[in-house]
Structures are given as structure tokens and as C-alpha cells.
Amino acid sequence: MQMGGLGLIAEVLHSAASQVDNGAYGQQRIWSTIFGPTYGLGNSAITMSAGALDGAFSSTPESNAKERSAAREFASRIPVVGGIRSAREGITDRLAGEKSERSGGRSAFKSGFSNAFK
């Protein structure tokens, strides 16, 4: 019975149940399991739109995080190359610029904290 259609349904239910405790990531995985790989295309489109709008209409260039997320989503859609992290990050750096460091926040704490142990 598991090798037939009921096995496929059981696999979907098992995958959904195993992802329930993973928060937002688990929700994305559940919807992707049910609706297939095209479900992620909508999320990617929203991320790329947010990055494009932030880059076009932002009056203060304090952070390029949204632009980098949009470029990363675009690069991840390129067959083969998008699956290679170094290539994907290189494309992201070229399209959206290097990662900008803002003053304050977690990144400043992290760099100051790690400098204490050098």
C-alpha cells in the first residue's frame, strides 16, 4: 500500500509533520511540499521586488541588505551556478555591491566581541 498513491500521501503528511517545529522555515517547506517548487517562486518574486524598490526609491543608502537579498535570489535561479555558494555570492557582490557594515546593531557587537579574542 505504501508503494502506491497512499504512500505518496503518507510522505506528504510525514514531511509536513516533521517541519511543524521549524517556525517560518518549516512553514515554507510545508507549502513547498504541498504546492511544489513553484510555490517558492512567489516568495522569490517578492524578495526581488523589495530589493529593486529599495534600491530605486531609497533616499538613504545606509544598508544594501534588500538589494543583496534580491541579487542572491536572482543568482540562485541560475542553473548549476546558483547552487555553488561562492559563485552565487560573487554574483551578488557584482550586482548589489559588497556587504555594507552599519554602525551599531549585531554586526558591530559581533566584530567587537571577536576582536577581544585575537
20-79 pLDDT tens trace: 777 877 888 788 878 887 888 888 888 889 888 887 776 666 788 888 999 999 999 899
Q: Report which of 32, 71, 25, 24 is spatially closest to residue 48, judged by C-alpha positions.
A: 71
In sequence order, the 6+-apart residues with CB closer than 8 A to the CB of 47 are: 69, 70, 73
Q: Reply yes or no on whether the pLDDT at 16 is more than 70.
A: yes
The rounded distance, in Å, linking the Cα atoms of 6 and 63 is: 49
Q: Whole-angstrom Cα distance, residue 39 to residue 26?
A: 14
Q: Which three cell numbers stand for residue 49?
A: 521586488
* pLDDT at 80 (0 to 100): 92
Per-residue model confidence as pLDDT tens digits over 62-90? 788 888 999 999 999 899 998 999 999 99
